[in-house]
Each structure stands twice: as structure tokens, then as C-alpha cells.
Amino acid sequence: MAEAQTTNRGPGRLLIAVYILFAIAATSRAGLQIATKFDRAPVAYLLSAVAALIYIVAAVGLARAGHAGRQVALACCSVELVGVVAVGILSVADQALFPDATVWSGFGSGYGYIPLVLPMLGLYWLWRTRHDPA
């Protein structure tokens, strides 16, 4: 019987790398915006900081593999998907809610829609690498 793949092997390494890249990008963006113009759009900038935190924790969860890592990654990918869809809908429906863009505005359009696709890939990878008791 072949052993199921862990989350930090094969294509999982690429997924972790993308999460790390987005963690760096979102952290940099949020940090700069919060430090220089927080009063302009605090909700948008704090949402970008939350997205950055989720990317960091998801990357760690995927990299750790194991049961705890999988649970952390599952929670992060789920929250991320709900967040990007909710913020995407709100930012398209009422642009006044977000005077400046967040990582998740317009479903992640500022980042090539990768913020929308990334949690779906993460959830798929977690499903694909699950260990079914035989």
C-alpha cells in the first residue's frame, strides 16, 4: 500500500512557496500602508495585515504537515477563502467601503486573482494528501 503524500512534499512545496511569497507581499504592503497612511483607510490596511497573517500561518501549517499542521492549514485556507470572497463582493458592491485596496479587494484582482485561487488550491491539496484509514 502506497503512503499518501504529505502536504510539504512535491507540489506542496510550490504551494508553500507561493504562500510565503504572498506573506511577504501582504506584510510589506500592510506595514507600509499602516505606517504611512493608516488614517486614510484603516479597515482596508488592517484587512491586508490579517491576510498577511493568514498567509504566514497557512505556510507554516502546510510546511509542518502532520495532523496539527493540516488542521492549522485547513482553518487558514477556509478563513482565507471566505475572506477573499466576502471582501471581494463588498469591494465590488460598494467601493466606498474600501477607499484604498486590500490584498483581497476585487477578489484579489490587484494580485492577478491569486488570492482567490490560492485557498482553493490549498484546500484541494489538503484534500488530495489526506490520509484515509484503510
- Which range has the worst mean pLDDT, 14-18, 24-28, 76-80, 97-101? 97-101
SS3 9: coil
pLDDT (0 to 100) of residue 98 = 86
- Which range has the worst mean pLDDT, 57-61, 66-70, 98-102? 98-102
As a whole number, the mean pLDDT across the chain is 91
Q: Which three cell numbers stand for residue 106?
A: 476585487
Query: Is residue 126 within 8 Å of 7, Cβ to Cβ?
Result: yes
Query: Is residue 114 within 8 Å of 126, Cβ to Cβ?
Result: no
Residues 70-77: contacts with CB within 8 Å, 24+ apart? Answer: 70/7, 70/126, 70/130, 73/7, 73/122, 73/126, 74/123, 74/126, 76/122, 77/119, 77/122, 77/123, 77/126
3 vs 114, residue with greater confidence: 114
Whole-number Å distance between alpha carbons of 39 and 122: 34
pLDDT (0 to 100) of residue 105 = 93
Judge if pTM exceeds 0.75.
yes
Whole-number Å distance between alpha carbons of 54 and 47: 10
